[in-house]
Structure 1
Amino acid sequence: MACAAARSPANQDRFICIYPAYLNNKKTIAEGRRIPISKAVENPTATEIQGVCSAVGLNVFLEKNKMHSREWNRRVRVQLKQEDGSLCLVQFPSRKSVMLYAAETIPKLKTRTQKAGGADQSLQQGEGSKKGKGKKKK
């Protein structure tokens, strides 16, 4: 009975692993990207992947003590199959389908859209204050 429980698809050890490097458009395939660059996202985080997967209804958890071998990014575990072997969600039959969905959804997150707008304003303010400080020192 213990062997059957260890092989169960619902066992957390059997969840698929997704690292942010798999979805990063800054990475090459040799560096770990696993989806086409046209569909990849710029510097995704493990918490963003966890958020979009859990929002769609997948059973997800973030492993804080596990990291990608070449990066500092954390590992996200996602359940694809239930205990009886059937899919949890029909629209996600494979690991790649989950990665493509996450890469498509992450740019639409509020944190991504706000960062893009807020970053431009802070850069402009920072540049103005630097110029002013430089003039005062002369």
Structure 2
Amino acid sequence: MAHLTTNAADKDRFVCIYPVYINSKKKRAQGRRIATERAVENPSCAEISDVLTAAGMNIYVEKDKMHPRENDAQFRGRVRVQLKREDGSLCQDRFSSRDDLMFHVAEKIPKSRAHHKGSEPGAMAAAAGKAGKKKRK
């Protein structure tokens, strides 16, 4: 992850992504910014940072920050993402705006969840244990 520099111009090249922006369980009035059809159910700050890191973006996580309209500590944190370089050019052409980032994250989180869900050792053991047990009457 990247570190935050103290230069004000550097901070301006980073945009904030809060989990509430892409949360399908939230209303627009609560801070959601994308359509519910494209949004994800209860995304975490860690999931957002994982997806953006995998996409090769320069990010840093601010775990102590919270969206002003959010009242659930479960969704604490925000991810800052660098969209532009010092010369004003885009870091990656496929991400020209905050919306592009949010759409990408909302698309990748369900795939990431499916991948992690199947690879959890506890989930496999629990499933195997349930399959082998018989009900007694």
Q: Return the TM-score normalized by structure 1.
A: 0.74
Unpaired runs of 5+ residues, structure 1, are: 133-138
Q: Which residue of 2 aligns with 1:79?
A: 82
Amino acid across the alignment from 1:99: M
Contact 2:13 2:85 (8 Å CA) reproduced: no
**Aligned mates of 1:35, 1:88 — CA distance in 2:** 23
Question: Could you tell me how far apart the structure 2 residues matched to 1:68 and 1:112 are?
Answer: 28
Residue identity in the other structure for 2:111:
K
Instruction: Give % identity.
Output: 48
| Greater than 2 Å deviation, 4+ residue runs | 110-115
Q: Distance in 2 between matches of 1:26 and 1:64?
A: 21
Question: Which residue among 87, 95, 98 is the counterpart of 2:98?
Answer: 95
**Contact kept? 1:80, 1:94, Cα under 8 Å:** yes
How many pairs were matched up?
A: 118
1:87 counterpart letter in structure 2: L
Separation in 2, partners of 1:63, 1:29: 23
Residue in 2 that maps onto 1:36: 35
Letter in 2 for 1:30: A
What's the counterpart of residue 4 of structure 2? none
Letter in 2 for 1:25: S
Alignment of 1:8-19 (within 5 A): 8=9, 11-12=10-11, 14-19=13-18
Give 1:136's aligned residue. Answer: none
Q: CA deviation at 1:94?
A: 0.2
Aligned equivalents of 1:26, 1:42: Cα separation in 2: 6
User: Any idea what the Cα deviations from partners look like across 1:13-58, whole Å, max 9, x if unmatched?
Assistant: 5410000011110011111110011000011000000000011110
Q: Distance in 1 between matches of 2:16 and 2:117?
A: 23
Q: Hey, which of these two has a bigger chunk of helix by percent? A: 1
Q: Distance in 2 between matches of 1:92 and 1:113?
A: 30
Which protein shows a greater Rg? Answer: 1
Residue 116 of structure 2 is aligned to residue 111 of structure 1: yes
Q: TM-score, normalised by structure 2?
A: 0.75
Q: Is the 8 A contact 2:84 2:91 kept in 1?
A: yes
Aligned partners of 2:13 and 2:83 also within 8 Å: no
| Alignment partners' CA distance in 1, 2:64 and 2:53 | 20
2:116 maps to a residue whose letter is: T
